Amino acid sequence: MQIRKALWLAAALLPLGAAACDETPVALPEASAVTVAAPDLRLTVGDVAPVAAQVLDQQGHVVQGVTPTFVSDNPGVATVDAAGMVRGVSPGTANVKAAYGSASATTKVTVARDERGFVQTLDVLADSLAVDVRAGTQTLSLRAFNGYGQPVCPSVGVRSSDPSVVTATSAGGCRLNVTPQFAGVATLTFTSDAGRDSVRVRVTSNGSFAFISTRPDAAQLVAGNTVTYVVRVLDAAGNPLADRTVNFDASAGGLSATRGTTDATGTVTVRWTLPTNLRVLGSYQTFYFRTVLPNGLVAGSNEIVMVNGGPPVSLTLFRSNSSEYIPITGTSISLPLYQYHYLGASAFDQYGNPVSELFDLKVTSPAYLACGGGNYFPATFVSTCLYAYELGTATFTAKALSNGLSKSVNVVFTSN
């Protein structure tokens, strides 16, 4: 009886509401509103950008330590992850809602096709062409530029106004094969994406003529390489003309000879050592030949080619100072939070020429690649933007996909 009384008295002395296991729930912060930094977001397919959202209390102050939930009403156009990173999936529009409790805000996302990697301008380097039917297939050069303003060598569609006179095909390496069929006049029209150009072709079937019978392929046209051209001279019946003097010239680099004499097969060979300083001279260079035919006419050709840089041997990282990109020379840089910061990379060959390269761009936490990452179209310079919400150090890395060459820089995010 005394033991029961003691237990009853002990229980009576416990504080009101106390229990053997205290499981009092923790209330979530009250939110009066959710705000987004930009009500409209424009992306291209494949790009990534953040929806910067904040939760506000009844006094309009930012509630720290809470994150809204994000949802897209059209994930076929744009997806969003738990951190608010939106990725463009296909052209169209979507609404991304940031919500916390009963409060929410919406960002309209417009996704457009990425036109930057497609051909915008196409220039066949001849307005007209005269060719004898017995000369066989001839080659024209072209120039093309994508939406970044970078030179490219695209596949080209061709239409002939009269295929019985002349036909043509894309040969790759910024070249077009033109094949005369029968005497006459026709127009060749070339297209690639938004680029378009045309050439008027006159096909003849008599008289002596001279033409390049052998030329280097695109893989050989690399800075510093020595390539071979063979010129052939024939008479009206298609027989070789021996002992004809052929003069050679080139816009840059060095030739094995400035003139030569055709042999018994009507051919003469010259070697061209391609220039190495493409940064100053440019990628497009020209090979020339001229010869006087027995009838006194001068025959010849201007072979315009695109000289590429060699394989990348070094990478340089860049950062934007709001007006230009400047090289990053140290192992780390400091950047403030809550701002977009543009970083980029270029690859260079053994001669210091910028090299067209595919890059894989990555960044470690706490930063995001807000302007997209991964593989880019071949380019001599690529860039992306970083964005961070938290203090800390991230590592930005650019990797050349052709040979795995990579370079990194530490990015220290500060509060100012």
pLDDT at 69: 92
Assess whether pLDDT exceeds 60 at residue 308.
yes
Average pLDDT estimate for 109-117: 85
The residues, any chain, with a CB within 8 Å of residue 77's CB and separated by 6 or more, are 88, 89, 90, 91, 92, 93, 94, 109, 111
Structure tokens at 269: 């060979």
Q: How far is CA 218 from CA 173, 174, 232, 321, 410, in A?
A: 5, 8, 21, 38, 39
pLDDT at 407: 97
Q: How far is CA 108 from CA 32, 72, 76, 95, in A?
A: 22, 10, 14, 5
> Which pLDDT tens digit goes with each residue over 352-396?
998 888 899 999 999 988 777 777 777 788 888 898 888 999 999
Question: What is the distance between the alpha carbons of residues 68 and 101, in angstroms, rounded to a whole number?
Answer: 8
pLDDT at 106: 94
Rounded percentage of the chain residues whose pLDDT exceeds 90? 50
> Which pLDDT tens digit goes with each residue over 47-79?
888 898 889 888 888 888 888 999 999 999 999
Average pLDDT estimate for 8-33: 50
Average pLDDT estimate for 189-213: 90
Question: What is the distance between the alpha carbons of residues 260 and 249, in angstroms, rounded to a whole number?
Answer: 12
Residue 300: band (very low, low, confident or very high) from pLDDT cuts 50, 70, 90: confident
Q: How far is CA 312 from CA 276, 307, 404, in A?
A: 14, 15, 10
pTM (predicted TM-score): 0.65
Q: Which of the given ranges, 60-69, 133-142, 280-289, 366-375, has the highest pLDDT on average? A: 280-289
pLDDT at 1: 41
- What is the spatial order of strands in the sheet that 298-306 belongs to? 259-261, 245-250, 284-292, 298-306
| Domains of the chain from N-terminus onward | 30-112 (2.60.40.1080), 119-306 (2.60.40.10), 314-414 (2.60.40.3450)
- What is the spatial order of strands in the sheet that 184-192 belongs to? 128-132, 195-204, 184-192, 157-160
Under a CB-based contact definition with an 8 Å cutoff, are residues 259 and 236 in contact?
no
Structure tokens at 49: 């950008």
Give residue 114's identity as a one-letter amino acid code.
D
Which residues are paired to 123 by β-bridges?
143
SS3 category, 219: helix
Look-up of token digits 């991230």: 394
